[in-house]
Structure 1
Amino acid sequence: MLGHKALKIDEIMDILNSSENDCEIVTDVRKSEKVNVIYIPADVDEVSDNEAIDDDVIEDNAPLSVDIAGTMELEYAVAEVELHALPDQQQNAKAPSKKFISLAHYSPAVWRKRPFAYNNQPENVEAKTVEKVVRTLGGKSPLELFEFFFDENMSNMIINFSNEYALQNNACLDLKQFELKRFIGILFLSGYHSLPQWKLYWSLSPGMEVQIVRNALPRSRFEAIKRFIHLSDNTMLNKQDKFAKVRPFIDASNYRFMQFGIWSHDLSIDEQMLPYFGRHSCKMFICGKPIRFGFKAWCLCLSAGYLYQIILYGGAATPHDKTVGLGGDIVLKLLENVTSPLTHRIFLITISLHFILCVF
């Protein structure tokens, strides 16, 4: 409970500055976590502060020894004394309320670096798995490595969806495989050789002409492919999936990311921003990120940065397991692709480690 005491300024200052515990008020004040000094203004007909102070006797840095007009009260906590209630008063007795302690009451956390104690030490078989991958990919050119992921099945899928979309719009695209590869090559080139407009890649101006682009595809053909290229069948879209337009391509890419298996001992699960400045209901803005506008995706990667699996975030309405929450559900879905969890160490940056224990 709270204690109140009407005192003058000098008396209040003596109590607050006192270091002795022989006075009951001083003892209660020193034990209190919070002490309030309350000023109650005087009535209108009483003398004012200025009238009660003689300006001639006040020196610089001299303590104010006179009291101000009005009343001063000292409010402090008083320890509650447990009283034995009488039999007829026990029913009316109320349990003491719990006192809330703010976070400011606790001292800041001190982090200490120490080795993590594993219940089951992961078995490191990275050397054996890496050896298999090196035998498969060793000596391959960059184009051959790219074709491991963008293979003939992937290109045929895009060609079929694009030609079908063109027919739905009363046009004949008749996209060929070599044209699709050249179209993607021009997109890659424009990533580091940027011009104000994409049409300028076919410009005849000496300062803007890009001969390799002009020789690869005519501008009209590039424009037609750019207009009708599609990654899904519009007649079979899942209306509940906000990424239905790219879902077949994402699923096919995830399958190809895992074609060599998981050959890293250390795995990381974290979120990543994919830059996008167009209009879409799933586009996000995250202040303080290097990429502030775009789509957020959860990724399962190895320590060197290779991507194994990706899950795009579709907003708060994304279906997930309510018992573990959205973050935990994403972790469990990504770890479903890890066939031997005991051979890996998994690091989670923003998600609690509690969910990884569910896998074991």
Structure 2
Amino acid sequence: MPRDRFFKLRANMKVVDDNSVAENEKENKFWKIQSLLNKIRTACLTYPRPSFVSIDEQMIPFHGHVSMKQYIRRKPSPWGLKSFVMTTPNGIPLDFIMYAGKNSDFSSALEAPPKMDIGGRVVLKLAESLLNSSSSIIMDRDFTSIPLLQILLIYNIKTTGTLMKSRHPRPISFISDGIEKSWTGQS
């Protein structure tokens, strides 16, 4: 197929008929591609759950003009659409959630405290498919918090993650293992 024909087909490709979508469905910022996202997510959910899964954010490179476009430094492609992904150790996606901005709805079947941060709500939403498996979650400091770990423990989901100093209650004091002292040059 010639390049120009491919570009013409790509520019005119539609996933959904705009006239057949109800007005309340158009409140979802991804309404034009939601049916495609649902099919991809359904296929991801059919993959068997391994013993370890990873939850992290991922940027989908995008240079167009949409309100959902994000900038995250420290990422290989800092500009694009942000998604939260649960993957296997080999990087195969098991589930994902597209981020549409501050007002994104991450309601989950797992009970969450009303003031849980976005990272915790995302993990609970993605962990729904792990309820009847023996999978353990590995996540980074953007998601880990004490309330989240307590909730996952109730559902018997094992978790490993880095905990930031600002995310643990003040009365708790951790015993130093000596690594931090040698790293900062203190004796």
Q: Which TM bucket (shorter chain)?
A: 0.5 to 0.7
What are structure 1's unaligned runs of at least 5 residues? 1-216
Residue identity in the other structure for 2:84: W
SS in 2 for 1:232: coil
The answer as to 2:43 corresponding to 1:251 is no
TM-score by length of 2: 0.67
1:74-223 equivalences in 2 (<5 Å): 217-218=1-2, 221-223=5-7
The aligned counterpart of 2:139 is 348
CA distance in 1, matches of 2:136, 2:123: 14
Question: Contact 2:106–2:125 (CA<8 Å) still a contact in 1?
Answer: no
Identity %: 25
Residues 327-353 of structure 1 deviation map (CA, whole Å, 9 limit, x = unaligned): 221111111112424x11111212124
CA distance in 2, matches of 1:328, 1:246: 26
Higher strand proportion, which one? 2
Question: Contact 2:83–2:99 (CA<8 Å) still a contact in 1?
Answer: yes
How much does 1:286 deviate?
Answer: 1.7
Residues 44-96 of structure 1 deviation map (CA, whole Å, 9 limit, x = unaligned): xxxxxxxxxxxxxxxxxxxxxxxxxxxxxxxxxxxxxxxxxxxxxxxxxxxxx
Seen in structure 2, the aligned counterparts of structure 1 residues 317 and 292 have a Cα distance that, compared at 3 Å, is same
Of 26, 35, 57 in structure 2, the residue corresponding to residue 239 of structure 1 is 26
Higher helix proportion, which one? 1
Of 119, 122, 125 in structure 2, the residue corresponding to residue 333 of structure 1 is 125
How much does 1:222 deviate?
Answer: 3.0
Seen in structure 2, the aligned counterparts of structure 1 residues 220 and 301 have a Cα distance that, compared at 3 Å, is closer
SS in 2 for 1:274: strand
SS in 1 for 2:90: coil
CA distance in 2, matches of 1:219, 1:285: 31
What are structure 2's unaligned runs of at least 5 residues? 108-113, 156-187
Seen in structure 2, the aligned counterparts of structure 1 residues 302 and 220 have a Cα distance that, compared at 3 Å, is closer
Question: Contact 1:332–1:356 (CA<8 Å) still a contact in 2?
Answer: no
The aligned counterpart of 1:230 is 14
Seen in structure 2, the aligned counterparts of structure 1 residues 227 and 320 have a Cα distance that, compared at 3 Å, is closer
Question: Contact 1:257–1:309 (CA<8 Å) still a contact in 2?
Answer: yes
Instruction: Give the total of aligned pairs.
Output: 142
Of 91, 97, 100 in structure 2, the residue corresponding to residue 311 of structure 1 is 97
The aligned counterpart of 1:148 is none
Residue identity in the other structure for 1:358: I
Identify which of structures 1 and 2 has the higher relative contact order when contacts are C-alpha pairs closer than 8 Å and 6+ apart. 2
The answer as to 2:81 corresponding to 1:295 is yes
The answer as to 2:144 corresponding to 1:358 is no
Residue identity in the other structure for 1:327: G
CA distance in 2, matches of 1:223, 1:285: 27
Seen in structure 2, the aligned counterparts of structure 1 residues 320 and 340 have a Cα distance that, compared at 3 Å, is closer
